[in-house]
Structure 1
């Protein structure tokens, strides 16, 4: 399938209701409103195709950009490619669920994520912390430095309440993911979650939301999910 065919197919699959949901989360035109599950048959047909992924991502169309992440070949992408992608990611569903997920399948994931976390730019920070969540939930514990993750938990504890709104979500999720998916620091993550307490996230038109990592870690413990690892990062 070539670029025009994919765009046509995505347009056909678009639904007004889905489009409204995406817009309410921060997406803007152009977009069709394609449910992610609907993309699977096209992805199966194409498999990995980086040149096509680049064409789709460059459209600025949310659905095309999301699908680009599904068919991307992360192993061929460079640091510069990821900088281009994060620059174009204009809201969190792109930064955290397309760029961060794609980055998590590379060998440069940690170094790029570290750079983004230190950037103090909201969506870069959000993508950086999210990338670690995807990594920790998929790769063996032995691939991570325990002292580095300890240090990162301390950074979260000291800075989460003053961080940009979307970064707060990702940082809170980082505490949870360490607590559930990285066994050597389960206790430390629980301590951090308790020290952090409820995290207030301000939202545009609705009331603030409060995130509580300690409660979610406990729920995962109760369900016997400690040590959980996903088989694949991308669906």
Structure 2
């Protein structure tokens, strides 16, 4: 299928409720409002197709970007391509898919983490802190967690919402995965109060770091 045909199919699946949800979450006019299940069904039909994925990524539509993420081969993307792509993102849900499906296990993720944490681009910074959170959880041996906590304490209050979200993951993961730093992470979370009043659906855990940390630690002890 050509990109034009795929965009036509995506547009035919437009859903007003989904469009309203996306808009509330920060999406602009570059959307059709397609349900994620429908996007995944198209991806299954297309199967892995890296070149088509690259074309879809540049189509200027968030559903096309979701689809591109599902059909591209991450290992074929160079660090330079990833840096360009991350700065083309303009919707938090796309950013999160990009981190989960493309960046999480990419060979260049460590170099990009270091590079993006120095970036002035909010989407690169968001991705950098997402990679940092993952490293804190899985491979924190070389990290100075005390210095990280001081940095988070200083920078989180001033961070733009897109970046603040993944910085909060880093703070929570320090408290969850590193008992020696838990008390300090809890203290910083209480002091900053970020996401203290965040609306949460029944059965879900609040992103407010102290609640999140305590809940995850409690689950680990069961």
Which bracket does the TM-score occupy, shorter chain normalised?
0.7 to 0.9
Which residues of 2 match residues 1-235 of structure 1 at below 5 A?
A: 1-95=1-95, 97-101=96-100, 102-133=102-133, 141=138, 144-148=139-143, 150=145, 151-180=147-176, 183=177, 185-197=178-190, 198-200=192-194, 212-224=208-220
Stretches of structure 1 lacking an aligned partner (at least 5 in a row): 202-206, 227-235
| Aligned CA distance change for structure 1 residues 18 and 175 (closer, same or farther; 3 Å) | same
Length, aligned pairs only = 212
| Aligned CA distance change for structure 1 residues 123 and 3 (closer, same or farther; 3 Å) | same
Stretches of structure 2 lacking an aligned partner (at least 5 in a row): 200-205
CA contact (8 A) 1:129 1:170 kept: yes
Match of 2:202 in 1: none
Shift of 1:76: 0.7
Q: Deviations over 1:113-144 (max 9, x none)?
A: 2211121432221121123345666xxx3xx2
| TM-score, structure 1 normalization | 0.77
| Aligned CA distance change for structure 1 residues 136 and 3 (closer, same or farther; 3 Å) | farther
| TM-score, structure 2 normalization | 0.82
SS in 2 for 1:157: helix
Cα RMSD over matched residues? Answer: 2.7
CA contact (8 A) 1:53 1:71 kept: yes
Shift of 1:224: 3.3
Give distance in 2, aligned partners of 1:125 and 1:54.
Answer: 22
Give distance in 2, aligned partners of 1:66 and 1:208.
Answer: 26
